[in-house]
């Protein structure tokens, strides 16, 4: 199988080539199929095994470097680069399978994949296709991902691929992404965690498939006794109908998500002002701690990755993932509408509705996103920034679409009138844009209902307040559904003979 499915390729620079083949003639279709096959035959494709071996070599080089303290920075960079190559992966859309006459024996059968992202706009409450960016309004047949830690080395492979496509390709759109390794103050630092443009550490929680990664989570990432990040292979892999018996692939969702940083921070400040009114009413001006808590209520983590359900201030520092919401059944530490709680309830459905935990865990997706636009936490009003969102799964409808539609967009999940996901939630077209969209936020961190004895009989004073934020501040600018073929299937594409 290809790389970047069971584990992220981990490179900091990425180019996404959005390909529309010229499929008008049998000759052009043959060349397009041979292009896909040739990516394997020429060893351009990064396999899962190659990715694993390069990761081990990279760790071995790091160990060598740590054992030689006098080595120069230049030599360090050269040694690390010698342990890895440019990552290349390819995926094909349902429209691509049909256009290349691969839609009988070779095409996967996931219903959402077969329909394509354009046909699922109403299901997901996405913007209409005519509002998408040009790269996505055209028919997309294939996506090639090229990634590396060195921009020049990456660009050389991109140029090579574009040259190979000449003569049988109508259009090659390109989206570029960069992993933003930034300190909390926005200063670039190669050793800093990856952040997205709202300022939060990204990619903290992922399903894990390799024993080494699971053991690492158990021993170095705070344990897995409360929340187990491991996942079975069928969470993300499916048998490739066009491959050999050992050929497996995965369905990928691709979405370009534009982030309005100014709008997000305006909402964050509005929430912080309400928090300040309850926390210190005599001096209700929001403090930096109030603002940080407001952002944590919206996202579910502080900017450094500290889960807000664990504590009311940042500072755990080790990007903890071993937590649940068991001790917060009423959402008084982490609101029900917080992004991380909406998208991964961590047992809430079992507690709230009695549903088996296994049912909730099978919905998890594998995120492979990277930021696009200016590398900064302070983008200007004209800067277009956001995420090139990719996720892998074995069923688009039962995983990605379920999370987006039934959880993030559902104002009544997990509790009635809990509100939309403040980050990725989208207003459902058949429901009003009114105060029922207001989220319910804790008056005080961890607060509970109280009795007001000034009334007779005493009345219950609620522990939350309602506030309708103006967001969401993430806008879908286009996308498509793809399948990552197995290596044996890609080779077979080059041998296909069309019926005359």
Q: Are 329 and 309 in contact (CB under 8 A)?
A: no
Contacts of 387 by beta carbon, 8 Å cutoff, 6+ apart? 196, 256, 257, 259, 369, 370, 371, 372, 474
Contacts of 385 by beta carbon, 8 Å cutoff, 6+ apart? 197, 258, 259, 261, 371, 372, 373, 374, 376, 379
| Dist. CA 400–CA 336, nearest whole Å | 19
Question: Closest Cα partner for 312 from 301, 299, 323?
Answer: 301
pLDDT at 430: 66
Give residue for tokens 């709008």.
Answer: 263
pLDDT at 212: 95
Q: Are 384 and 173 in contact (CB under 8 A)?
A: no
Q: Is 18 exposed, middle or buried (0-12, 13-18, 19+ CB in 10 A)?
A: buried
pLDDT, tens digit (0-9, with 9 covering 90-100), for 51-77: 999 999 888 887 887 777 657 777 767
| Dist. CA 451–CA 21, nearest whole Å | 68
pLDDT at 450: 63
Q: SS in 3 state form for 109-142?
A: CCHHHHHCHHHHHHHHCCCCHHHCCHHHHCCCCE
Give the three-class secondary structure for 152.
helix
| Dist. CA 259–CA 241, nearest whole Å | 37
Helix axes of 73-82 and 48-66: crossing angle, nearest 10 degrees:
160
Q: Are 386 and 476 in contact (CB under 8 A)?
A: no
Contacts of 340 by beta carbon, 8 Å cutoff, 6+ apart? 205, 299, 300, 301, 307, 334
Per-10-residue mean pLDDT of the chain, 500 residues long, equals 97 98 97 98 97 91 74 74 91 98 94 99 96 98 97 96 97 98 96 96 95 93 92 98 97 98 97 96 95 98 96 83 93 96 95 89 98 98 97 99 96 88 85 72 85 63 86 94 99 90
Give bridge partners of residue 412 from the DSSP assignment: none
The mean of the pLDDT values for the chain is 93
Q: Are 51 and 178 in contact (CB under 8 A)?
A: no
pLDDT at 275: 97
Residue 132, token pair as written in the block: 């998408």
pLDDT at 65: 78
Question: Closest Cα partner for 16 from 162, 190, 224, 133?
Answer: 162
Give bridge partners of residue 19 from the DSSP assignment: 142, 172
Annotated active-site residue in 60, 215, 383, 433: 215
Question: Closest Cα partner for 424 from 410, 439, 438, 441?
Answer: 410
Tell me the DSSP string of 272-322.
Answer: HHHHHHHH-TTS-SPPHHHHHHHHHHHHSB-TTS-BTTT-SSS---S----
Give residue for tokens 């967001």.
Answer: 471
Q: SS in 3 state form for 418-433?
A: CCCCCCCCCCCCCCCC
Q: Are 119 and 480 in contact (CB under 8 A)?
A: no
Asked about 215 being catalytic, the answer comes back as: yes
Q: Are 443 and 278 in contact (CB under 8 A)?
A: yes
Residue 343, token pair as written in the block: 């998208």
Domain ranges of the chain: 13-258+478-493
**Cis peptide preceding 113, ω within 30 of 0:** no
| Dist. CA 219–CA 214, nearest whole Å | 9
The pTM score is 0.95
Give residue for tokens 């103050």.
Answer: 185
Q: Are 436 and 417 in contact (CB under 8 A)?
A: yes
pLDDT at 435: 66
Give the three-class secondary structure for 460.
strand
Give residue for tokens 């190669």.
Answer: 190
C-alpha dist (Å) from residue 493 to 32, 46, 100, 338, 409: 9, 18, 9, 45, 39
Question: Closest Cα partner for 20 from 177, 154, 146, 137?
Answer: 137
**To which H or E segment does residue 263 belong?**
helix 261-279
């Amino acid at each position: 199988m290809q790389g970047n499915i069971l584990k992220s390729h981990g490179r900091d620079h990425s180019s996404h080539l959005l390909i529309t083949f010229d499929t008008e003639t049998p000759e052009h279709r043959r060349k397009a199929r041979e292009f896909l096959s040739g990516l394997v035959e020429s060893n351009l494709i990064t396999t899962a095994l190659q990715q694993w071996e390069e990761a081990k070599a990279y760790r071995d080089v790091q160990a060598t470097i740590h054992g030689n303290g006098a080595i120069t920075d230049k030599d360090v960079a050269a040694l690390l680069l010698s342990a890895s190559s440019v990552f290349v992966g390819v995926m094909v859309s349902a429209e691509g399978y049909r256009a290349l006459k691969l839609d009988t024996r070779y095409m996967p059968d996931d219903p959402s994949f077969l329909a394509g992202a354009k046909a699922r706009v109403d299901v997901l409450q996405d913007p209409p296709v005519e509002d998408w960016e040009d790269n996505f309004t055209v028919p997309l047949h294939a996506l090639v991902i090229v990634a590396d830690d060195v921009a020049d080395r990456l660009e050389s492979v991109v140029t090579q691929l574009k040259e190979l496509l000449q003569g049988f390709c109508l259009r090659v759109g390109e989206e570029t992404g960069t992993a933003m390794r930034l300190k909390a103050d926005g200063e670039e630092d190669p050793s800093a965690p990856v952040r997205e443009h709202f300022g939060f550490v990204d990619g903290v929680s992922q399903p894990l498939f390799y024993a080494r990664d699971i053991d690492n989570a158990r021993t170095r990432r705070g344990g897995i006794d409360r929340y187990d990040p491991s996942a079975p292979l069928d969470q993300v892999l499916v048998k490739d109908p066009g491959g050999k018996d050992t050929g497996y692939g995965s369905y990928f969702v691709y979405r370009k998500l534009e982030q309005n940083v100014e709008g997000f921070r305006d909402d964050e400040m509005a929430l912080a002002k309400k928090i300040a009114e309850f926390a210190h009413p005599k001096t209700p001006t929001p403090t930096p701690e109030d603002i940080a808590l407001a952002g944590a209520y919206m996202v579910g983590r502080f900017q450094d990755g500290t889960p807000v359900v664990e504590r009311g201030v940042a500072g755990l520092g080790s990007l903890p993932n071993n937590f649940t919401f068991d001790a917060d059944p009423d959402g008084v530490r982490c609101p029900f509408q917080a992004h991380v709680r909406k998208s991964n309830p961590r047992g809430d459905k079992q507690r709230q509705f009695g549903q088996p935990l296994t049912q909730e865990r099978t919905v998890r997706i594998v995120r492979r996103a990277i930021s696009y636009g200016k590398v900064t936490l302070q983008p200007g009003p004209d800067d277009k920034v956001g995420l090139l969102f990719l996720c892998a799964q074995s069923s688009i409808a039962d995983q990605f679409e379920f999370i987006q539609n039934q959880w993030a967009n559902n104002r009544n999940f997990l509790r009635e009138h809990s509100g939309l996901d403040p980050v990725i939630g989208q207003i459902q077209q058949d429901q009003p844009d009114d105060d029922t969209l207001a989220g319910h936020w804790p008056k005080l961190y961890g607060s509970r209902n109280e009795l007001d004895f000034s009334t007779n009989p005493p009345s219950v004073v609620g522990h939350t307040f309602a506030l309708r934020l103006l967001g969401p501040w993430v806008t879908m600018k286009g996308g498509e559904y793809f399948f990552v073929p197995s290596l044996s299937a890609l080779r077979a594409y080059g041998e296909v003979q069309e019926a005359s």
